[in-house]
Amino acid sequence: MATQDTGEASARRARPRDAAATRRALLVAARELFAAVGYDATTVRAVAERAGVNQALLFRHFGNKEGLFAEALSGEAMALLEDGPPEELLDRALAAITADDPSGTELFFAVLRSTGSTEAGAAMRAELETRWGGTFAGLVDTDDEADAALRAGLMLAWLLGIGLLRTVIPTRPMSDADPAAIREHVLRGARALLGTPRTSGGGDQAPSPAR
């Protein structure tokens, strides 16, 4: 299991000189640690040391660890959500999850590694249900809101499962599968589940599911 001390000396950043830089450094450090070891194993001291600032500044900006977790992961989720049109969210998420550089996957890995924490689990469930789930549900061609929510939940479960088997507990063949192959299979399934069109690189529109 990854430890908070691994590579800490090289990962520490220069001490920020202003409030905005301090917040950014703390958020980046928090995302990395929450993704690496989970909510419970991440300490405010480790986050502050990784960011190169005093612990007191963490409390000043975020109140406590729970507030830091909520803002760090909320910002990550919104960045991916707002980086393009809703119909391409799945493609963006798949690209982040399967990338060699894990910097875009903190949201998913933090969720997977923090499931045992009541506070963190509640925060991330709300995040996924209202923002990600709502976006996926809005793509479903149906007037049945409950069914749309269920399909969105299944899509989220699939994404989290891919992240789990590729990085958190690497399991073959998922861990060493070609990202392009994963993308093709998932997007093909998503067209049946959500009714979403093939995105960036596909070009063909999927038929809408029957109402």
CATH of the domain at 126: 1.10.357
Q: What is the pLDDT of residue 200?
A: 39
Q: What is the pLDDT of residue 38?
A: 84
**Is 154 domain-assigned?**
yes
Q: What mean pLDDT do residues 63-68 have?
A: 91
**Is 204 domain-assigned?**
no
Structural domain total, the chain: 1
Q: Is the pLDDT of residue 102 over 90?
A: no
CA angle 58, 78, 153 (to 5 degrees): 115
Q: What is the pLDDT of residue 75?
A: 72
- The domain of 113 spans 72-193
Q: What is the pLDDT of residue 107?
A: 67
**Is 179 domain-assigned?**
yes
**Is 173 domain-assigned?**
yes
Contacts of 114 (CB under 8 A, 6+ apart): 34, 38, 39, 40, 69, 120, 121, 124
Q: Global pTM?
A: 0.70
Q: Is the pLDDT of residue 153 over 70?
A: yes
**Is 64 domain-assigned?**
no
**Is 170 domain-assigned?**
yes
Q: How far apart are CA 184 and CA 203, in angstroms?
A: 12
Instruction: Give percent of the chain with pLDDT exceeding 90.
Output: 43
> Between 34 and 181, whose confidence is greater?
181
**Is 5 domain-assigned?**
no
Q: What is the pLDDT of residue 211?
A: 36
Does residue 20 contact residue 3 with C-beta atoms inside 8 Å?
no
**Is 33 domain-assigned?**
no
